[in-house]
Amino acid sequence: MYKDVLLHVGGKWRAATGGRTIDVVNPATEEVIGKLAHASREDLDEALDHAAKGFAVWRKMPAYERSKLLRKAAEMLRARAEDIARLLTMEQGKPLAESRAEIAGSADVIEWFAEEGRRAYGRVIPARSPGVYQLSLREPVGVVAGFTPWNFPMSQAVRKISAALAAGCSFILKGPEETPAACAELVRAYVDAGIPAGVVQLVFGVPAEISEYLIPHPVVRKISFTGSTAVGKHLAALAGLHMKRVTMELGGHAPALVFNDADLDVAVNVLAANKFRNAGQVCIAPTRLLVQDGVYEPFVRKFVAKAEALKLGDGQADGTTMGPLANGRRVAAMESFVADAVGKGAKLRTGGQRAGNNGYFFQPTVLTDIPANARVLHEEPFGPLALILPFSTFDEAVAEANRLEYGLAAYAFTSSNTTATAVGAAIEAGMVGINHHGLALTETPFGGLKDSGYGSEGGAEGLEPYLVTKFVSQASL
Ligand code: NAD
Note the pLDDT tens digit of each residue in 183-240. 999 999 999 999 999 999 999 999 999 999 999 999 999 999 999 999 999 999 999 9
* pLDDT per position as a tens digit, 131-147: 999 999 999 999 999 99
208 and 233 in a common domain: yes
* pLDDT per position as a tens digit, 29-88: 999 999 999 999 999 999 999 999 999 999 999 999 999 999 999 999 999 999 999 999
Is residue 337 in contact with ligand 1, taking CB distance under 6 Å?
A: no
Provide the pLDDT for residue 218.
98
Overall average pLDDT of the 345-361 stretch: 97
Is residue 385 in contact with ligand 1, taking CB distance under 6 Å?
A: no
The per-residue pLDDT of the chain, averaged, comes to 98
- In this structure, the dihedral spanned by the alpha carbons of residues 282, 286, 447 and 180, taken in order and rounded to 10 degrees, is 0
302 and 259 in a common domain: yes
Alpha-carbon gap, residue 462 to 458, rounded angstroms: 4
Q: Which residues of 70-108 are buried (b: 16+ CB within 10 A; e: fewer)?
A: bbbbbebbbebbeebbbbbbbbbbbbbebbbbbbebbbb
Angle among Cα 395, 400, 405 to the nearest 5 degrees reads 130
DSSP secondary structure of 255-321: EEEE-TTS-HHHHHHHHHHHHHGGGG--TT-EEEEEEEGGGHHHHHHHHHHHHHH--BS-TTSTT--
163 and 18 in a common domain: yes
243 and 276 in a common domain: no
Is residue 231 in contact with ligand 1, taking CB distance under 6 Å?
A: yes
Q: What is the CATH number of the domain that holds 375?
A: 3.40.309.10
Q: 129 Cβ partners below 8 Å, 6+ apart?
A: 475
Which residue's CA is the closest to the ligand 1 atom numbered 25? Answer: 329
Domain that holds residue 407: 254-441
291 and 152 in a common domain: no
Split into its structural domains, the chain has a count of 2
* pLDDT per position as a tens digit, 254-277: 999 999 999 999 999 999 999 999
Q: What is the CATH number of the domain that holds 193?
A: 3.40.605.10
Alpha-carbon gap, residue 73 to 62, rounded angstroms: 17
147 and 263 in a common domain: no
Q: Please tell me the distance between residue 156's alpha carbon and the centre of ligand 1 in angstroms.
A: 12
Provide the pLDDT for residue 312.
98
Question: Is residue 446 included in any domain, yes or no?
Answer: no
268 and 204 in a common domain: no
Question: Is residue 359 included in any domain, yes or no?
Answer: yes
Overall average pLDDT of the 77-104 stretch: 98
Overall average pLDDT of the 92-114 stretch: 98
Q: Which atom number of ligand 1 is nearest to the Cα of residue 282?
A: 40
Work out the widest C-alpha separation in the chain, in whole angstroms.
Answer: 81
Residue of 228, 235, 284, 330 with the most ligand 1 atoms within 8 Å of its CB, for mutation: 228
Alpha-carbon gap, residue 405 to 250, rounded angstroms: 12
Q: H-type helices in 289-416, by residue range?
A: 296-309, 328-343, 394-401
304 and 223 in a common domain: no
Is residue 92 in contact with ligand 1, taking CB distance under 6 Å?
A: no
pTM of the entire structure? 0.97
276 and 184 in a common domain: no
84 and 127 in a common domain: yes
Alpha-carbon gap, residue 268 to 283, rounded angstroms: 19
Q: Please tell me the distance between residue 206's alpha carbon and the centre of ligand 1 in angstroms.
A: 12
Q: Please tell me the distance between residue 231's alpha carbon and the centre of ligand 1 in angstroms.
A: 7
Is residue 162 in contact with ligand 1, taking CB distance under 6 Å?
A: no
Q: Please tell me the distance between residue 328's alpha carbon and the centre of ligand 1 in angstroms.
A: 14
Question: Is residue 447 included in any domain, yes or no?
Answer: no
The yes-or-no verdict on residue 448 having pLDDT over 90 is yes
The yes-or-no verdict on residue 327 having pLDDT over 90 is yes
Which residue's CA is the closest to the ligand 1 atom numbered 38? Answer: 227
Residue of 231, 330, 376, 405 with the most ligand 1 atoms within 8 Å of its CB, for mutation: 231
The yes-or-no verdict on residue 1 having pLDDT over 90 is no
Question: Is residue 399 included in any domain, yes or no?
Answer: yes
With residue 347 as reference, give the H or E element that holds it: strand 347-350
* pLDDT per position as a tens digit, 287-323: 999 999 999 999 999 999 999 999 999 999 999 999 9
pLDDT-derived band at 159, boundaries 50, 70, 90: very high
459 and 394 in a common domain: no
Which residue's CA is the closest to the ligand 1 atom numbered 28? Answer: 228
134 and 265 in a common domain: no
Q: Please tell me the distance between residue 68's alpha carbon and the centre of ligand 1 in angstroms.
A: 34
